[in-house]
Structure 1
Amino acid sequence: MPTGSITLVFDKTQFRQTLISTGAIGALFGSLPVLALLAFRNDYGHAPRATRSLFALGLDLCLLFFGSVTFCIFFFGVLPMALHYAFVWTMRRWTGRD
């Protein structure tokens, strides 16, 4: 490596595997509450109330699912990887190993 320039090698394969694995975990975490809400949905409760349309329920369930997938990808995949690269960049700069 030339002296005076700081370069980090960004491994695209590792990043892709991180996105896939955290996305799969997010899909698992997102499908559990969705299935629980569908299984325990009770239209015949003790207190009379207006029932929700299937479209509104489907939209809520999709937002819950995709929200949990996005949360897991960001907080369990992208953020730790960014912190790792920032730490490596800082240590290389402090120790003079550019």
Structure 2
Amino acid sequence: MVHAARGTGSQSRVGFVVSKAVGGAVVRNRVKRRLRHLVAQELAASSSAQDVVVRALPGSATTPSRLEADLTSAWAQAKHRLSPGPSPVSS
């Protein structure tokens, strides 16, 4: 799950939420390391500053092979919500 907002500074900021539901401390830290690596790739492709919170769901630890695809999909959705859409038409 990814929540994003336009950045207020010149650099992007990222926070990670990995609860105990994901697993023990070793598992949570492993998930955070994987997420940090994947988020760094996404931020490198981004041109504007963003404030992002990535929340790992319990399945993050049990299916690590899907982590990249799930993050990419959630990142794209969050980015789409940030992009300016067409202005509403007044009648």
TM-score range, shorter chain: 0.3 to 0.5
Please identify which structure carries the higher helix content: 1
Pair member with larger Rg: 1
| Relative contact order, higher structure (CA 8 A, sep 6+) | 1
TM-score (norm 1): 0.31
